[in-house]
Structure 1
């Protein structure tokens, strides 16, 4: 199965998604915001992992989720706290499909698409 990669997701978010199959995930990373946009126009499937982008490789484990809905919001921040005045936040409503392991990785334009194999819970080493 092909999925768009969302990396660096907090462990508590992944744990909450395991307990409740529907959740809204808020992402701020430019890579993750672009990945959600790509998933909206493409396969609609996301692979969420705790690992940062630079560490994702064949064998990386995470969660497979369907993108149900997404919305982007621009948020202003005080200029004293940052060199930027605005950040883009994306709220993505997802539905857990299962556990997965990366089989292969492919970079397409500015997003990373992974082929994942669905796993059984006893195969998962994450956590």
Structure 2
């Protein structure tokens, strides 16, 4: 089945999702930001701690369901008497619910600035090892 993929996610986050089922994370990396920007609540996502560059057939991860999606912008202002700097950072907060383990069959799209897509198969627990 075809899924959008979030890559390079912390191993601790992936493990926490496996063990507890529900987790909210912030997306700041450009490749994952483009992937999640236009997602709708209820869609299934392939999530892995493997980096985008190393994503290949056989990569293991988990399938999660998108429960909440929120885009927000933070403004940071730093300054002294001689220096003033203002920065903005846009991020996406998503709440995910764990569904099952999965393995990539084929990488369909993995270019910078585009949505990362994979064809992945759900795995039985005994296959996941």
Q: TM-score, normalised by structure 1?
A: 0.85
1:14 aligns with 2:18: no
Structure 2, unaligned runs of 5 or more? 80-84
2:103 pairs, out of 101, 104, 114, with: 101
**Runs of 4+ deviating beyond 6 Å:** none
Equivalent residues of 2:72, 2:91 under 8 A apart: yes
Between the aligned partners of 2:86 and 2:17, the Cα distance in structure 1 is: 32
How far did residue 102 of structure 1 move? 0.3
Give 1:50 deviation, angstroms.
0.5
- Normalising by structure 2, what TM-score? 0.83
User: Where does 1:1-127 land on structure 2 (aligned, <5 Å)?
Assistant: 1-40=1-40, 44-78=43-77, 85-107=87-109, 110-125=114-129
| Structure index of larger Rg | 2
Q: Secondary structure at the match of 2:35?
A: helix
Q: Tell me how large the CA RMSD over aligned residues is.
A: 2.3
Residue 84 of structure 1: how far off its partner (Å): 8.0
Distance 1:112 1:12 in 2: 22
Instruction: Name whichever of 53-62 and 102-111 sits farther off.
Output: 102-111
Query: How many residue pairs end up in the alignment?
Result: 122
- Say if 1:78 and 1:54 are closer, same or farther in 2 by CA, change over 3 A: farther
Alpha-carbon separation, structure 1, partners of 2:53 and 2:40: 24
